[in-house]
Chains A and B, each alone.
Chain A
């Protein structure tokens, strides 16, 4: 029983990252109707930013938790303004391809500077060690990662669904022309939303740095797995992508506890099942294609 509980918590840790990444993908998709392949590379950049400013300037985890997402967000803004913007009139596939090319470029660029092997990144002293939750003992930092992810996801959902800022974003998504007629600079909002999605990936990267090793390829596998999560949940709703992220994380953890060899493939089997029963995903919209 304890083992299963630990496994569920491990699933929640993975789910925390699936949720943060698929939330970023969903926010960007909702606004721009594109799928950002470079999301994994942005996540990796978040981890490397934390690592690099720690190595060079001795900046610790806590400031990095703020600095890295902002840096990655700014990088995202630059990408959107310079490159991604040029392909809005074309089918979404072209932006998937563009961001794929950028992923190769960014990954290999980081590899040239830091090498291919993983870099260690220690969690802050306050979060080192383990916490006794009463029913299990679990590494403190991992608990922290879960909590941050939940808080950020809920906040994002709240801002988009319940505030004025969110109303503007939703208006830009649903009818850009009318929104423009109200005097709102839609293109500025598009850039901002892309930057925000990128920052979410950067945040996930910082949180991942002490848990997984920091290496140039850390984002590439995660992003493909996240794509499977996104297919399961559908890109239609913010809440849907978050819930699916956690659910898939936990389900896969339980499944692989029961039958270890299936660990890596279970998520894709789930995807196949969902495609059979609901081709647009659990929370997907019929029109989202």
Chain B
């Protein structure tokens, strides 16, 4: 099992390395950044069971902070991105504290409302965000003889990915899942759900910020899209489509959504119609997502091998009750 995990991980890393050769580089950067963003979001959605509908505020705040630092100071790119990440972390403290006070569907509405507030502020602060024009031409200082951009992206994104993976696989991650599946029981074992969820929220916001800063530098432009509510929605779609509560799912989902949007952009004007329809269809019929489905098939197959001719009831997949299926193992 462990060996297989490593094969998958190294395979993904290699794929990401050659990705800029397979598709055009900006799209590769997009997939990398949105993949990290989606993974960060999944930490809260898939593992803590909280549907945040406002993650654009962390992604967008970091993007604007990073861009402004690069415009106004001579800071090196990684430092600017790091400071952007810290800005997202700082923002997550009050918003997280307040939204975690409410649970379930209220949590979604509160996070959405806070993100809308950041959207309004971004629109008003034209000196820093460029308003509707956005901030084009973010300077990308050269870092020596070789073009380091992609390497920096890969290293920082990999760092974010490792942080998320460690958080998920650690005892902390286990506790999160325990709270998600049965809050009362987890509480009686001694966990404080609010504290655990707050920590998850802050880590998630920080990683979203890291992804947002990387995206800003990678694109060389930040527009109001980064704080728009559709951004918060699209990242949910990526996670659902790829597979909630899996490590690889968000990356796969990000790639699928971005490739879909990319191909739509050149072939039709009805991007929103198709995106919305795919979104609704995913929620209705494909909640396990790509990776979730693959894992389930694999799970069934191995069960069938271990115990020949199992009774039908046992072989049937467990009913999906929570946001993510606890039976699904992370690759």
Taking Cβ atoms with an 8 Å cutoff, the residues of A that contact B are 34-35, 83, 86-87, 90-94, 96-98, 100-109, 111-112, 220-221, 224-225, 227-228, 230-231, 261, 264-265, 268, 271-272, 275-276, 279-281, 288-289
Contact = CB atoms under 8 A, between A and B. Distances in A.
Contacts of A231: 102, 106, 109-110, 113
Contacts of B323: 91, 93
B101 A275 contact: yes
Contacts of B22: none
A275 B117 CA distance: 15
A108 B272 contact: yes
Interface of B: 51, 53, 94, 98-99, 101-106, 108-110, 112-114, 116-117, 120-121, 124, 229-230, 233, 236-237, 240, 269-273, 275-284, 287, 320, 322-323
B270 A112 contact: yes
Contacts of B114: 268, 272
B273 A112 contact: yes
B108 A104 contact: no
A280 B102 contact: yes
B272 A100 contact: no
* 5 nearest A-B residue pairs (beta carbon): A108-B272, A105-B276, A104-B276, A101-B279, A101-B280
B280 to A, nearest CB: 4
Contact of B279 (A34, A86, A92, A97): A97
A140 to B, nearest CB: 31
A279 B124 CA distance: 29
A100 B279 contact: yes
Given A101-B279, A108-B276, A112-B269, A268 B102 contact: no
Contact of B273 (A97, A105, A271): A105
Q: Interface of chain B, helix or strand or loop or mixed?
A: helix
B108 A224 contact: no
Given A264-B120, A272-B98, A276-B98, A94 B109 contact: no
B116 A268 contact: yes
9 contacts: A96-B108, A101-B281, A102-B280, A104-B272, A111-B272, A112-B273, A227-B113, A230-B109, A276-B101
Contacts of B120: 264-265, 268
| A93, A108, A276 pick with most chain B CB within 10 angstroms | A93
Nearest to B269: A112
Given A108-B270, A224-B113, A228-B113, A94 B275 contact: no
Contacts of A102: 276, 280
A228 B284 contact: no
A242 B229 CA distance: 25
Contact of A105 (B110, B121, B272, B322): B272
Contacts of A271: 110, 113
